[in-house]
Every structure is written in C-alpha cells, then in structure tokens.
Amino acid sequence: MIPVSIGRRFARLATNAAVGRPRLWGLFRPLLRRQFDALAPHWDSIRIEDSLVPYETALAAVDPAPSRALDLGTGTGVGAFALARRFPQAEVVGVDLAERMLEEARRNTPEDLRARIRFRRADASALPFEDGSFELVAHANMIPFFDELARVLAPGGRALFAFSSGATTPIYVSPERLRRELARRGFTDFAEFGAARGTAFLARKPDRI
C-alpha cells in the first residue's frame, strides 16, 4: 500500500492539477483510483471522527430541499447517507471512481435508506447524467470538476463543498478559488461555513445561463 504521507501529498497535487488544468486529470485518475481502492477497507477507521460536521452544517442551509441529490466522490457513502437523512423525500445518488469504496458504501447502507440511495461508479469529470439532473451536488473532501457539476445541476440548484480539516485537508480548494471558479460560471449566493475542524462552501446556480 502507498504510505499515507505520500498518498496525502499526491492527493493535494492531483487536486491542484485537476482544478487548475482539468485536462491533466487523465494522468492522475488511474493512480488516484488505485490509491482509494486500496484505502477502501480502512477508510472509515482513518476518517477523523467529526469529518462530516462541515458538510452537515452546510446541508442545513440548503433551502428549498432537493428532490434529487448527488454526492460526488462518495467513498464509503457517508455523505450520501447524510443527504438522505437530511432530505427524507430526496432520491440520492453516490458516485465514486473506486469500485471498492462503492462496495463498502453498498454494504454500509442502512436498511431504511436502501430504497432511496443508489451508488454508481463514474468519473466526476464526465458524469453519466443528463443536464440539470440534480438540485444539489455535494462534495465531501472531493476534487471539484466545475464544468461538469454545473452541467448536471438544475437551474437554481446548489453546489456544496466541504473539507473536514479545512486548509490542511489533502483534497482542498480554498473558498477564494471556489468563489472565482463558480462566479465565472454565473453562480451566486455564496456562503462560507466553519464547523468542527473543517470548512464548507455553498453556492447557487443561476436560474438561467
């Protein structure tokens, strides 16, 4: 297995490359996928205890409630479970590149959520969904692919980004950069959150672009 410190540095490098020059993502994808496949059986014991608090804090500010919500880079599914609990009427999809992460997510899905959550293997840079398929697209500790997330979001939908350890999270994008990238695509209503050890960011896609 890749030593944790090297894995963290690699995740930071891949994030900066994919955000700054999305065409480079193809070079990083196989390695990152292999890294997360290897981490999958241990992921829930590695995650910091309050890792989802920033995500849940931003979720509490999402209004109106979405009827279709997407958790990108879902890993073992914790974000997807939080979405389904927060929005009891919503259909939730969790997407990840790493099949072993998804195996854990499927196995961990609580019985009462099974009818509303599905997990699917896909790359967030080229999603197998129609334009405007979701009213909420959420990321917990996940590299954002701005054009693609804007495409699958419905007009007026919300994009959410959370980082469990704020600026020291291996996969991290600063609020300034999130604001810049999203503003370029017409997003508004930016909100920043600090909760537990982390940070989160929320933005609204315009009604029309």
Ligand X SMILES: C[S@@+](CC[C@H](N)C(=O)[O-])C[C@H]1O[C@@H](n2cnc3c(N)ncnc32)[C@H](O)[C@@H]1O
Report the residue from 140, 150, 153, 200 that binds ligand X according to the rule CB under 6 A.
Answer: 140
Instruction: Identify which of residues 79 and 157 has a Cβ nearer to ligand X in the complex.
Output: 79
Does 146 engage in binding with ligand X (CB under 6 A)?
no
Looking at the Cβ atoms of 123 and 156, the one nearer to ligand X is 123
Instruction: Specify whether the CB–CB gap between 77 and 94 falls below 8 A.
Output: yes
Q: Which of residues 170-199 bind ligand X (CB under 6 A)?
A: 171
Tell me the pairing of strands 153-163 and 68-72. unpaired
Terminal CA-CA length for the chain = 45
Least separation in angstroms between CB 130 and ligand X:
18
Whether residue 136 contacts residue 157, with contact meaning beta carbons closer than 8 Å, is answered with yes
CB of 13 to ligand X, least distance (A): 13
DSSP 123: B
- Taking alpha carbons only, the member of 91, 92, 205, 208 closest to residue 158 is 205
Q: Which of 15, 57, 109, 125 binds ligand X (CB under 6 A)?
A: 125
d(CA 199, CA 195): 6
**Residue 98 within binding range of ligand X, rule CB under 6 A:** yes
From candidates 93, 105, 143, 195, binder to ligand X by CB under 6 A: 143
154 belongs to the binding site for ligand X (CB under 6 A): no
What is the C-alpha separation between 190 and 144, in angstroms, rounded? 16
User: According to the binding rule CB under 6 A, does residue 73 interact with ligand X?
Assistant: yes
Return the residues of window 12-41 that contact ligand X according to CB under 6 A: 32, 36
For residue 130, give both structure tokens: 């129609």
- Under the criterion CB under 6 A, does residue 105 sit at the interface with ligand X? no
β strands within 52-187, DSSP E: 68-72, 91-96, 117-121, 134-140, 153-163
Please give the single-letter amino acid code of residue 94.
Answer: G
57 binds ligand X (CB under 6 A): no
Contact set with ligand X (CB under 6 A): 32, 36, 47, 51, 73-75, 78-79, 95-98, 101, 123-125, 140-143, 171
